[in-house]
Structure 1
């Protein structure tokens, strides 16, 4: 099931959704694309342009993943004080991504690191994400103000957890 098939646009907010995906290593071509501004070794993102992602129902989750695969738990438009219950304790919080809602392209990891007036690329965490919710909100608001003609600057906050 593709990312956009399961929910209508307005129904996808605030729900935990699970996705199998490839792991995304910040290889030389990605580093070059992002002008060596993103220092993370591995990118954990909700960007379907960088990774193949397959949505899975909670009851169908398999916890023995093949090598090179991961299971992401994502919440689009998370609550300020979440009370989400993930499937098990094997998930770790990775951070917040900023993703354009119509194309599922990350403004952080897949826009050539071109939003340097707003995104502090050097302070992204070990997964190439924003660690603090408040910073994600401020960045989201500033993107559309500073880059009003850029489609990818109009994005949703996506909270990302990964099963380890």
Structure 2
């Protein structure tokens, strides 16, 4: 499956939050992300990602292992994604390290997630703050088959517009890159 996703900088978080709340109840969650790569940086060089994410929500804590391949749509950065829940977070980290991967960066994201139907698709909208990065971000995504990426991205753009987000607000900036830059300054 492809994660057809667009990310934007949010200039009026209160207004976007109000519009999201009209679509349903948001769920506050804190993500603890650890990204891995080969010692020679092969995954990053290919545009791929390997991540272990622990999600602390209001009713549970869960951990997922995610692999994202190289972007299939350069303009949006949408990528194929494989994700699975893991029962033992320490074992997951041990397995990934045992396979020769090394942690490259770890950081926290504070999110408010909204799941809703729009344009016949299940959408996930996430309002994001990363404590180490200035600003608020909005990610809107839907999972689709390889041949539906462009149509899905058009639907995601329409949802973003309904939330008050314009094309000029879109960004391909990666949280990992922004956190690295912040830590180096």
**What is the TM-score of this pair, normalised by structure 2?**
0.25
Give the structure with the larger strand fraction. 2
**What is the TM-score of this pair, normalised by structure 1?**
0.27
Larger radius of gyration: 2
